[in-house]
């Protein structure tokens, strides 16, 4: 989740680190990020995309789902 100011929660960063490791292991696999709940004017998906790009992931690999508000709408979208 995001903190009220839009920064990433420690748990989210740890999940991203695990995803980054998997992305490096499978360099041709697409990466799906989701989360539409905005805090501080940004969504979880936006902040995750930004973090992944800073950490070397090409934008072309990233699929963004930024409309969901919970796990059910993640799956639907």
Q: pLDDT by residue (tens digit) across 27-50?
A: 999 999 999 989 999 999 999 999
Q: Which one, of 50, 57, 48, lies nearest residue 22 by Cα?
A: 57
Average pLDDT, rounded, for the chain: 94
How sure is the predictor about 69, in pLDDT bands with cuts at 50, 70 and 90?
Answer: confident
Q: Model's pTM, two decimal places?
A: 0.89
pLDDT category at 51 given cuts 50, 70, 90 is: very high
- Is the model's pLDDT at 76 over the cut of 90? no
Calculated CA dihedral for residues 77, 34, 60, 49, nearest 10 degrees? 160
Q: Which two tokens stand for residue 41?
A: 């004017």
The whole-number average pLDDT for the span 7-35 is 95
């Amino acid at each position: 989740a995001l903190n009220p100011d839009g920064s990433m929660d420690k748990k989210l960063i740890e999940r991203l680190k695990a995803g980054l490791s998997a992305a490096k292991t499978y360099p041709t696999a697409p990466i799906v990020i989701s989360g539409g709940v905005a805090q501080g004017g940004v969504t979880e998906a936006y902040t995750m995309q930004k973090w992944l790009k800073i950490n070397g992931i090409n934008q072309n690999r990233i699929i963004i789902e930024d409309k969901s508000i919970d796990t059910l709408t993640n799956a639907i979208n």
